[in-house]
Each structure stands twice: as C-alpha cells, then as structure tokens.
C-alpha cells in the first residue's frame, strides 16, 4: 500500500479529475519490439519482430492507449522507425503516443497528420525551448513532455547524457509555455521490475498541478493499483513494458482492477 508520507485526504483527491490509464509500451529498435535495461542499448531483449502486431495484441486486450518509443530515433536525433509508427497509428482504433528523436517541426507535423494522437518531446524540451514553445503553440494537448530523470536530474539523448536541470525545474518552465502532460521516467527503475518511484511521481504531479504519467519499474499489478490511488493528485496513468512482456502483469485483469478501484 502507499506510504503514509504522501497520503491525501478525500477532499484533496476530489479536487482533480480521477482517471488512470495503463499504457502498454512498445520500444522499437531495428524494426523490432524490444526492451532495454535502464536505457542501456547494450542490454536489449527482443520481444517481437512486428511492433504493429504487438500493438494490435495490446489493443485487443483492452488497452486505451499505446505508448511507442523510437529508440533508434532517440539515439540519432531524428525519427528512424517512422513508417512503423505511422502504420500502427493507421491500423489501431486506439490512440498512440510516440517519442524518440522529435526535434524538427516537419517530423511532428507528419506524425500528427498521419494519425498519431500525441507526440512526446524529450531532449528537445531541455535543449531547444523556442522549438518546444512552437510545438506547444501548434499542438497543445497533443504534446507530452518526457522527463527522464537520473538521480532527479533530466537525462537527454536517449538517456546517454545527464543535464544539470532537475525534473521539477524543467516542468515548471514548460508549464509556463503551455505544457499540460508530463511523462516521468526514473531511469534507475526502468526495465528492472523493482517497482516505480511513486514518491517522486506524486511529488512532481503535486508540484506542477498537471497530468503526470509514470514510467519505469512497474513489476506487478499492485504497483499500478498504488499509483492509481493518486489519480486525484494528477497521476494520470502508467507506462508498462517488461512486466507485460514477461506476464507479471495481466493487462485485462489490471484494467478491471483499476476501473473498480479508481
């Protein structure tokens, strides 16, 4: 159960819209569906040859959104698996979000026009804020800011570099530019199945007053139920990868429990 240090009362809980979405994660590298350990490109596990078929599988099990990451794009600084992403967006009846290498407006335009429901800015959000502001002006709630943190500091370039900016500092600057949704990843938890950093996620949601999607570390259904208790604080969902692929979390069952509890 959640730690008492960040319990909230029912009045506080009711002050924010309460919804919690499970986002199955599909990380694409070399055209395949893979998972990395703590963002390490040398520690890769392949879970499928077709990201599109994997997306269809999660959608058929009740997923309300699909989370896509172009790992090659994140490393290269430009989309590298864009045809696969657009195929998934065209094929599925559920919305998809994509991150990885989005640093040019023409790439973002192509994704949105091609049916992608939300794009995720990561490195660009910290290194090119004028660009980020233009994207937010153009697409508003179709934009999420991916805040990937190592020891509380924002990591960039596919997690290969760490900045001197804290997650909360970056979020507050971007809120002033119109950001409404953040995806918070604790890199130390990603792919480890050690449980999410719930305290940091809740703190970011409270500090920003915006929608924060948790990413990294979900290992069992109870992790999702714990995070969902903070939907009223602004924790709007969780991205789940390895726990789904290793069948530690059953998606239909987890969705049913969340809907009953939230």
As given in the structure block, the two tokens for residue 115 are 């049916």
Give the integer Cα–Cα distance in Å for 138 and 79.
20
Measured in Å, how far apart are the chain's first and last C-alpha atoms? 14
Q: If phi over 0 gives left and psi between -120 and 50 gives alpha, with beta otherwise, what is residue 150?
A: beta
Residues 6+ apart with CB under 8 A from 200: 149, 152, 167, 184, 186
Distances (CA, A) of 16 to 177, 182, 184, 248: 21, 16, 19, 30
Three-state secondary structure of 148-179: EEECCEEEECCCCEEEEEEHHHHHHHHHCCCC
Catalytic residues: 27, 148
Distances (CA, A) of 164 to 152, 205, 244: 10, 21, 33
**Segment (H or E) for 21:** strand 21-29
CA nearest to 210, candidates 236, 173, 237: 236
Three-state secondary structure of 207-247: HHCCEEEEECCCCCHHHHHHHHCCHHHCEEEEEECHHHHCC
As given in the structure block, the two tokens for residue 77 are 């600084």
As given in the structure block, the two tokens for residue 127 are 């290194």
């Amino acid at each position: 159960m959640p730690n008492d240090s960040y319990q909230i009362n029912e009045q506080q809980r009711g002050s924010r819209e309460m919804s919690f979405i499970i986002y199955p994660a599909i990380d694409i590298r070399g055209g395949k569906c893979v998972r990395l350990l703590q963002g390490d490109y040398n520690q890769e596990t392949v879970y499928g040859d077709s990201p599109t078929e994997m997306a269809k599988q999660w959608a058929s099990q009740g997923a309300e959104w699909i989370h896509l990451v172009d790992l090659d794009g994140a490393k290269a600084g430009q989309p590298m698996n864009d045809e696969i992403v657009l195929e998934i967006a065209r094929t599925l009846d559920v919305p998809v979000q994509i991150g990885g290498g989005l640093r040019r407006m023409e790439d973002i335009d192509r994704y949105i026009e091609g049916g992608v429901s939300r794009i995720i800015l990561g490195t660009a959000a910290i290194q090119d804020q004028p660009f980020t502001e233009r994207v937010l002006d153009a697409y508003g709630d179709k934009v999420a800011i991916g805040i990937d943190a190592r020891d509380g500091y924002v990591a960039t370039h596919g997690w290969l570099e760490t900045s001197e900016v804290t997650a909360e500092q970056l979020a507050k600057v971007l809120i002033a530019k119109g950001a409404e949704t953040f995806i918070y990843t604790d890199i130390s938890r990603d792919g480890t199945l050690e449980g999410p950093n719930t305290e940091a996620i809740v703190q970011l949601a409270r500090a920003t007053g915006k929608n924060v999607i948790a990413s990294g570390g979900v290992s069992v259904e109870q992790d999702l139920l714990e995070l969902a208790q903070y939907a009223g604080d602004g924790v709007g969902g969780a991205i789940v990868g390895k726990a789904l692929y290793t069948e530690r979390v059953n998606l239909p069952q987890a969705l049913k429990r969340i809907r009953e509890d939230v």
